[in-house]
Structure 1
């Protein structure tokens, strides 16, 4: 009898293949794509259609996945929210950061994002719209970005362990615009500069015409656990490199990151 497990070479632990595949199917749904066809789910989960269909039937029978009768498209059910309600009510990263980030967005007017690393992508945990006439909405809550594109993804990548940084450098890069950096050697140099500076600035590499600036949040051990980033039109966000005095948005961002990090330390927060 063949056991339905596969080896995870990175962690050295055994993984149940069916569970891994089911989680890939659940992860295919996003706030932007809440209803998906079988072919779309199979593509996103990197499964053949037959395997995806069998798992979807099981998840549907368990009440996790629903299916529209007319279109046949699949969607997540309220069972996901019931599970979310079971998460312990201790103060989370978002609980601690929320008032600081709300205040930051009001002070400087541009859009503020809170994001964390998830495997080889950056995930947006929260977005705060400023008072600017142009609102940046290209990164929605729950949405992901590749680590080579954007200020927050690059910053999160830069502060990972060296073995993790190098592993990701060996994987194919995604280009979101013609300005997206996809050369591993240049990226290695850039990541080292981000670690030296303690912040990251990018422009045109996620959406042309937009720039972003990111700073780190650290837990009680000093490890970078999240990134706070600002997004706006290029004229509204300057590159702080070599500027004296530094731009106001940069000063406000770094002070906000320090304030949140100090509070995480007081709460003894560990990622």
Structure 2
């Protein structure tokens, strides 16, 4: 049975039998609308959801929700955890964002700010989001510096316990999501990587208190990074913006990496500008 609508342009053709070129006179495909409603239930704050949670949020019954989720899973759009049964979006969703031409992706909205930040500090600027067990690089821009940080390529995932931006993202995940991640073996990139869950929890608490994160030598020896949150108009974290480079580039005259990083002030200013820019906008991360 076709879904009815209060807008006659959507469900019936004009009296003269013609169709508008924008398709407004065509009936809506209910299955597509429902699939999109399901995809919208996944957020940075709730990247993994149970079947019942998805159904409730999308306003659908459990049977319909499960059939659509199974279809999306088979198409590679969502994944299902074998142990918990929870669902999450896959990287395919981010590939869709890369095809957006109208400047409404988060990367497009941030590009000029990131380029300016990289040039101002003379370091590499990154924009990243959390997806599952990883931090995914959405954007990377190199400033005028003798060393460019290339360890994190566009679209590549990195462990959430290593690096300033990954740990900042981890610190702002829901507690149950943090516990799930910390219950599994943590990656070791250098001998400075934090792999003890209890020590990492202390670090995450400090990140939330400070409002920013820094890292030194835990991704690659000799490299440091500082990260800060980009927030929406509700104050919720949308992404992490970070700067990476040689330790003197990031910490300035504090060679031991103590105190407030030199690169922090311009980074915080840039994050505030991007947060203002995305306030009230619909965009794809």
After TM superposition, the score normalised by the length of structure 2 is 0.64
Contact between 2:128 and 2:135, CA under 8 Å: does it hold in 1?
A: yes
* Structure 2: unaligned runs, 5 residues or longer: 1-47, 52-65, 83-93
* Structure 1: unaligned runs, 5 residues or longer: 1-9, 28-45, 47-79
| Aligned counterparts of 1:90 and 1:111: Cα–Cα separation in 2 | 22
Contact between 1:213 and 1:231, CA under 8 Å: does it hold in 2?
A: yes
Match of 2:54 in 1: none
Distance 1:86 1:124, change over 3 A: closer
Matched, 1:23 2:76: yes
Contact between 1:220 and 1:269, CA under 8 Å: does it hold in 2?
A: no
| Aligned counterparts of 1:84 and 1:108: Cα–Cα separation in 2 | 28
Match of 1:252 in 2: 266
Please state whether the residue corresponding to 1:23 is helix, strand or coil.
Answer: coil
Match of 2:229 among 210, 216, 240: 216
CA distances 1:65-100 after superposition (whole Å, capped 9, x unpaired):
xxxxxxxxxxxxxxx98x668658461211211111
| Aligned counterparts of 2:268 and 2:178: Cα–Cα separation in 1 | 24
Distance 1:220 1:106, change over 3 A: same
Match of 2:45 in 1: none
Match of 1:179 among 192, 213, 222: 192
5 Å matches for 1:1-271?
11-13=49-51, 14=66, 16=70, 20=73, 23=76, 87=100, 89=102, 91-238=104-251, 243=259, 246-267=260-281
Match of 1:4 in 2: none
CA RMSD of aligned residues (A): 3.1
Contact between 1:120 and 1:168, CA under 8 Å: does it hold in 2?
A: yes
| Aligned counterparts of 1:196 and 1:165: Cα–Cα separation in 2 | 17
CA distances 1:111-155 after superposition (whole Å, capped 9, x unpaired):
101111111100001100010011111111011100000000000
Distance 1:140 1:90, change over 3 A: closer
Asked which structure has the greater CA Rg, the reply is 2
Distance 1:104 1:84, change over 3 A: closer
Contact between 1:173 and 1:182, CA under 8 Å: does it hold in 2?
A: yes
Contact between 1:220 and 1:268, CA under 8 Å: does it hold in 2?
A: no
Distance 1:114 1:21, change over 3 A: same
Please state whether the residue corresponding to 2:263 is helix, strand or coil.
Answer: helix
Contact between 1:149 and 1:180, CA under 8 Å: does it hold in 2?
A: yes
CA displacement at 1:248 relative to structure 2: 3.7
